[in-house]
A and B are shown apart, each in its own frame.
Chain A
């Protein structure tokens, strides 16, 4: 197990790096990684919207043969085998080949996209692994050591120099620039390809551009995140951002921000802690942000949704009670009180859990619809009016279904039970008009 003590020095180190005090190299790498995260998040939004997220899996794995080949070629032509541009060029070349292979399989065979991606992923990675094993033997490489290639698989920012970081940053900025330049076209093509084609936009060119951008971001991210996990940076930030907003102008920067933050946190942690592959930490950071978004996002988050549903359930339960109490009072000529026994009967009828009754009663009392009496409770004037209105909605809908929807009288009650809570004034007016047209009696309006 790990014997490295979790001391305050480590924490201070991380904070130091996070605040850009880690030295020139570290700062450059951190800046580059932040740009990478942003680019990956933004490109990932379009990949997600066009359902191309998993192609990045194949693209990532397919960089391996390219890297190994570029290594060999570099030795052959006498260049430095660590030359990053050559290695990344090789990576891009085989990734592009992988994309073409997937397209070819889809075009010329009857296999579907999932199988095509899996085939290309597996075979290309296999080629890469073989080439990597070939390159491990110094006899094959005239002594040049492929030690650094391992970092492209899992990502290791600690092995990056400032120059590498600049290249990464440049590729990231180019990706962002292309997206910005083609933003309108990409948006239209994503949401309505028919419309785009009518407008004369070259949809297949834009699709190819998106794939090219995925390749660019993947290649840029190889050193930091590694080829296996770079897909995560393209998928997780957009998915997390999606939970916060439905609007594209907000989604794109949000995804970029989440990507940047994950990359930032992950890179800093990986630089400090030993034996920590950067790719893993960045992805775990992104995963954590996803989890937080899942829980806390104001509209679609789990907490918000649960709260919304609970509030709605409470309101409906309260309205049921008011309506029942009103009907009860009508049948007893205006006596608006109801006993605890009646309450128990209602609770059983509607199947309320044990805790719902006190909560509903408290809520109704709070809003001034009921008040406590010696024997139980009593409707206030407001309560009577509200109960009457709900009851009327129920009967309106009831009547409407009978006259217009041919519903059997015995079947309308449960539907009205649900619909009565959500009828707006406009709909009520429409219903009244429709029923009058059908010459059916309209339930009387409440007095208040």
Chain B
């Protein structure tokens, strides 16, 4: 894989900076169950951008940000308005607002902003692959030279500033954000305005969407906002750890996605595929890994822990059963000690593996049948509740079979009753 600074540095930088901003902000969306507000915001900034572009004719960062901010505020306000006036649930209100705004944006782009820098595909998936930095140095280390930095494309600065703003916001307002995320009522009671915090967060999300617009387009921003935070959520319970983990995941996915979009098709002799989508796939893969392998909540570690626990419980159960056999009067203890040998001698238990033989299973099935028949009888006829039926049945199973009518197939606990085989006759207990 051939990477060159003038071709690949800018996209990687853009992707990483976008990932940093969105990944960090997304934590507060996921925690407050506002992920879909991020979804809505990323759709509804579009008309803001287009109108700002149409009015000023420029695509400079401040103009775009202003458009996005206004669109973001409008979104929040409209959603609240529709929730109240239209008496609809928040999800539906968001759906109405963002879809209408997005439709407006698309229409405006198609009719008014065609053949300009702003096109519909940028909306969908950004244009990472086409971001060039012609004056980038030949060697990677040369980036840090002040002259090079001075000549960097403006979008790099936009992204860098946005990332810095987001990090600053989170650091400065960390305590308030944390409180507002977990207990907004308490936050307001403690004197700072949770609503203001909400607006500030939403505006930053709108801003991050704009910054990431060129990198990944406004729809894939959703993946960058939500997936790293969600994955991090599955890995830890502590907020600082979650924030760091989400950043790590986002940045790793940005690298892996971009490089993968070149390397993987290359291995098959194909040209580069869409980088933004590849980043989203990388995010999805990391998320799946977190779901499966996350040390505390992952499916695999949980299953392993559960198996270990089951084995321990089985062993414990066996030991307590043997213990109870040994309890009681000396004769009972003596009998208990010899029961295993006796079972083997009578051909009810295998010599080597200590499992039931066919004869042993048959006899055990008899007893279980009687036990469950008793449970059925006690619950149906004697009015005993199901959770009290087991203990009396434990005793009565050794003495008789009540043979409840109707040949029930399941006991009151839902366990199957072993059916009677053809040649069956009562055996006297030796």
Interface residues of chain A, those whose CB is within 8 Å of chain B, are 1-2, 48, 51, 53-54, 57, 61, 105, 108-112, 114-115, 117-119, 121-123, 125-134, 137, 139-140, 153-154, 228-229, 231-232, 235-236, 238-239, 242-243, 275-277, 279-281, 283-284, 286-287, 290, 294, 300, 302
The 6 A-B residue pairs with the shortest CB-CB distance, nearest first, are: A126-B280, A122-B223, A123-B284, A129-B277, A232-B99, A133-B274
Per-residue CB contact flags for chain B residues 100-142 toward chain A (1 = under 8 Å, else 0) read 1011101100111010000010001100000000000000000
The residue from A110, A139, A239, A286 contacting B234, defined by CB atoms under 8 A apart: A110
Q: Are A129 and B107 in contact (CB under 8 A)?
A: no
Question: In angstroms, how far is the closest chain B Cβ from the Cβ of A297?
Answer: 10
Residues of A within 8 A of B87 (CB): 242-243, 300
Cα(A441)–Cα(B280), bound, Å: 77
- The answer to whether the Cβ of B194 comes within 8 Å of any Cβ in the partner chain is no
B86: CB under 8 A from chain A? yes
Chain A residues within 8 Å of B85, by CB: 294, 302
Q: Is the CB of A137 within 8 A of B94?
A: no
- Are A1 and B277 in contact, with the CB atoms below 8 A? no
User: Does B92 lie within 8 Å of A114, measured CB to CB?
Assistant: no
* A279 touching B103, Cβ below 8 Å: yes
| Contacting residues, chain A, for B265 (C-beta < 8 A) | 134
- With A122-B226, A122-B283, A275-B114 in contact, is A110–B297 under 8 Å at CB? yes
Given that A122-B223, A276-B111 are contacting pairs, would A54 and B94 also be in contact in the complex, using a CB cutoff of 8 Å? Answer: yes
Q: Report 6 cross-chain contacts, Cβ distance below 8 Å, ordered by A residue.
A: A123-B280, A229-B103, A235-B95, A275-B111, A280-B103, A284-B103
| Alpha-carbon separation in the docked complex, A243 to B96 (Å) | 14
Report the Cα distance A238→B281, complex, angstroms: 34
In the complex, what's the smallest C-beta–C-beta distance from A367 to chain B, in angstroms?
Answer: 32
User: A118-B39, A134-B273 known; 10 other A-B pairs, CB under 8 Å?
Assistant: A53-B89, A54-B91, A110-B233, A111-B30, A123-B227, A126-B283, A133-B274, A153-B124, A231-B95, A275-B114
A286 vs chain B, min Cβ distance (A)? 8
Q: Which residue of A lies closest to B110 (CB)?
A: A275
User: Is B95's CB under 8 angstroms from A54's CB?
Assistant: yes
> Do A283 and B99 touch (CB < 8 A)?
yes
Residues 216-227 of chain B, each 1 if its beta carbon lies under 8 Å from chain A, else 0? 000110111111
- B263-286 Cβ-contact flags toward A at 8 Å (1 or 0): 001000011011011111101100
Q: Which of B95, B222, B273 contacts A133 (CB 8 A)?
A: B273
Distance in Å: Cβ of A407 to nearest Cβ of chain B: 29
- Asked if A117 contacts B35 (CB within 8 A), the reply is yes
Whether B230 is near chain A, meaning CB under 8 Å from some CB there, is yes
The closest CB in chain B to the CB of A126 belongs to B280
Nearest CB of chain A from residue B265's CB, rounded to whole Å? 8
**A239 — which chain B residues lie within 8 A by C-beta?**
82, 86, 88, 92-93, 96
Closest to B261 in A: A130
Closest to B284 in A: A123
Contacts of B95 on A, CB cut-off 8 Å?
A: 53-54, 57, 231-232, 235-236
Residues of chain B within 8 A of A57, CB atoms compared: 36, 39, 95
Cross-chain contact A126 with B276 (CB below 8 angstroms)? yes
Cβ contact within 8 Å between B34 and A114: yes
- Please, how many angstroms separate the alpha-carbon atoms of A137 and B91 in the complex? 39
B96 x A128 contact (CB < 8 A): no
Closest residue of A by beta carbon distance from B287: A119
In the complex the two chains form, what is the Cα distance from A108 to B270 in whole Å?
A: 37
- Residue from A61, A132, A275 in contact with B274 in the complex, judged by beta carbons closer than 8 Å: A132
B33 proximal to A (CB < 8 A): yes
A140 and B33 alpha carbons, distance in the complex (Å)? 41
B92 touches A123 (CB 8 A): no
Chain A residues lying within 8 Å of B224, measured Cβ to Cβ, are 122
Are the CB atoms of A51 and B91 closer together than 8 Å?
Answer: yes
Shortest C-beta distance, A353 to chain B (Å), equals 23
Residues of B within 8 A of A127 (CB): 277, 280-281, 284
Tell me the chain B residues, 224-254 only, with Cβ under 8 Å from chain A. 224-227, 229-230, 233-234
Closest to A230 in B: B99
Evaluate contact between B220 and A122: CB separation under 8 angstroms.
yes
Partner of A118, one of B82, B88, B94, B222: B222
Contact partner of B277 (CB less than 8 A), chosen from A2, A128, A281, is A128
Q: Are B107 and A277 in contact (CB under 8 A)?
A: yes
Hey, what's the 0/1 contact readout for B19-38 against A, CB within 8 Å counting as 1? 00000000000100111101
CA distance A294 to B85 in the complex (A): 8
Interface check B299, CB cutoff 8 A: yes
Do the beta carbons of A108 and B291 come within 8 Å of each other?
Answer: yes
Between B36, B103, B110, B229, the greatest number of chain A beta carbons within 10 A of the residue's beta carbon is seen for B103
In the complex, the chain A residue whose C-beta lies closest to that of B229 is: A115
User: Please, which residues of chain B bring their CB within 8 A of the CB of A51?
Assistant: 89, 91
A288 to chain B, nearest CB (A): 9
B230's partner among A54, A115, A128, A287 (CB-CB below 8 A) is A115
Question: Would you call B220 and A126 a contact (CB within 8 A)?
Answer: yes
Question: Residue of A at shortest CB range from B257?
Answer: A126
Residue on B nearest A54 in the bound complex, by CB: B91
Question: A53-B95, A242-B87 are contacts. A276–B107 as well, Cβ < 8 Å?
Answer: yes
Chain B residues with CB under 8 A of A276: 107, 110-111
Q: How far is the CB of B348 from chain A (nearest CB, A)?
A: 43
**Chain B nearest CB: distance from A354 CB in Å?**
28
Residues of A close to B124: CB separation below 8 A: 129, 153
Question: Which partner residue on chain B sits nearest A232 by CB separation?
Answer: B99
B34 in contact with A125 (CB, 8 Å)? no
Residue of A nearest to B39 (CB): A118
A236 to B219, CA, bound (A): 21
- CB pair B230–A111 under 8 Å, yes or no, is yes
Which residues of chain B are near A231, meaning CB under 8 Å?
95, 99
Contact A129 B114, beta carbon cutoff 8 Å? no
Known A229-B99, A231-B99, A236-B99; contact A109-B297, beta-carbon cutoff 8 A: yes
Chain B residues, Cβ within 8 Å of A283: 99-100, 102-103
Complex partner residue of A228 from B91, B107, B219, B276, CB under 8 angstroms: B219
Closest to A290 in B: B96
